[in-house]
Amino acid sequence: MPRKRREYRCHPGGPGGSDYTYSDKPVIYVDFFDAMRFVTWLENGQPTGAQDASTTEDGVYAISDGLSETRAASATFFIPSEDEWYKAAYHKNDGVTSTYWDYPTSTDSVPNNNLPSADRGNSANFFDGAYTTGNQFFPMTDVGAYTFSESPYGTFDQGGNINELNEGVVFSARVIRSGSWGAVSDILLSSFQGVASPLNYNNIKGFRVASIPEADADIDNNGIVDGFDFLKWQLEMSPNPFSQTDLALWESQYGGPPPVSAVSAVPEPATCIALLLGMMAMLFRRDVVVS
């Protein structure tokens, strides 16, 4: 579920800016520079007090012109790329396939714009000729209010509510996705890609934060880290022969060699080692959580 933010800033922010509280609504009136600075601040430990170049200008993005910035390879918080945003919204989450839904509510059918209280699935906050949701200032809904209309990956509000910036660049603009409370349903489609100047801000645009989850070697979620976790890790990777590079990757992710104790009896240890090192495996990819 997206991280809730109770505060959004009336642009321009910073010293002298004004803060307004609108319940659990999305943050709006932010441009791409604001988004880069926010995730950089997260990356740098969310320091309090006066901010400077060491806390907001470098660490994820070395901020320059709003178009040429690229994410640091070591970043754990960042604005999602176009591919990351698109996959979280539309991919059917059915393995290594190229199958996608038309809408981010896990359907090919046009969503309805019921009130969150009437959400029974395939609902989103978009314009149908009359604003029926939100509050007296902007017709936005609370983050995650449509609890039955999540994407296949469990994210909320990737269709409607507000437009969302991502890292994609088209000509001299950053890509926006999602559609907003002021958009018709066609803008929620996977085939629709919008753009905005990195300096543009308004009351229908914000951004989403993505992160790298902490490594957890208990892959089968049984509370024990053992050889079965290593086997499951291999089986969930792409169909390439397992190699020493993959073994080094496990060690870098989980801080040591893969455990084999749980599978040492059946089969015998020597056979077990052969299985562990010889099993066909999928190419490891670093998971990204789009909130």
Digit-coded pLDDT (tens) for 223-233: 777 778 888 87
pLDDT at residue 11, as a whole number: 35
pLDDT at residue 88, as a whole number: 94
Q: In this model, does residue 126 exceed pLDDT 80?
A: yes
Strand partners, 91: 100
Query: What are the distances in angstroms from CA 150 to CA 2, 18, 144?
Result: 11, 33, 8
Choose the weakest-confidence range: 33-42, 200-209, 258-267: 258-267
Give pLDDT tens digits for 181-198.
999 999 999 999 999 999
With beta carbons less than 8 A apart as the criterion, state whether 140 and 25 touch: yes
pLDDT at residue 5, as a whole number: 31
Cis bond upstream, residue 198 (ω within 30):
no
Q: Which domains does the chain have, with CATH numbers?
A: 1-211 (3.90.1580.10), 227-284 (no CATH)
Highest mean pLDDT range out of 210-214, 267-271, 283-287? 210-214
What's the mean per-residue pLDDT of the chain?
A: 78
pLDDT band at residue 94 using 50, 70 and 90 as cut-offs = confident
Q: Calculate mean pLDDT across residues 76-83.
A: 94
pLDDT band at residue 10 using 50, 70 and 90 as cut-offs = very low
Burial class for 72, CB neighbours closer than 10 Å (0-12, 13-18, 19+):
middle
